[in-house]
Amino acid sequence: NAGVTQTPKFQVLKTGQSMTLQCAQDMNHEYMSWYRQDPGMGLRLIHYSVGAGITDQGEVPNGYNVSRSTTEDFPLRLLSAAPSQTSVYFCASSYSPTGEQFFGPGTRLTVL
């Protein structure tokens, strides 16, 4: 099993550009989440999904869209990048809502 994979590892964007952060898992997990990690802020939940076709907002959803067309994939879209979205983004999946979350290696995003 590859576990949770994320691409790209690094990305630099200009303000106003859009892009999609990819996340995939091969563990057949229903639950998937996107977090952002900022210095001194810990991890904050952006969006999450409890299964294919079902998504919901987390703590900091503004400026981000998600969709879940398959169990395996959970992409995160930045519609119009802003410097405030400079962060490290982690995708995670779990078998159950209270089970162990498996994290991807992260995507480091810089918005100029």
Residues 89 and 2: their CA atoms lie apart, in Å, by: 19
Residues 73 and 62: their CA atoms lie apart, in Å, by: 21
Would you say 67 and 81 are in contact if contact means Cβ atoms under 8 Å apart? no
Among 56, 62, 84, 110, binds other proteins (CB under 8 A): 56
Among 8, 15, 100, 112, binds other proteins (CB under 8 A): 100
Among 92, 90, 72, 68, which Cα is nearest to 26's? 72
Would you say 63 and 44 are in contact if contact means Cβ atoms under 8 Å apart? no
Window 9-48: contact mask with other proteins (x via CB under 8 A)? ----------------------x-x-x----xxxxxx--x
- Asked if 58 is part of the footprint of other proteins (rule: CB under 8 A), the reply reads yes
Least spacing, CB of residue 32 vs other proteins, in Å:
11
Q: Which residues bind other proteins (CB under 8 A)?
A: 4, 31, 33, 35, 40-45, 48, 50, 56, 58-59, 90, 92, 97-98, 100-101, 103-106
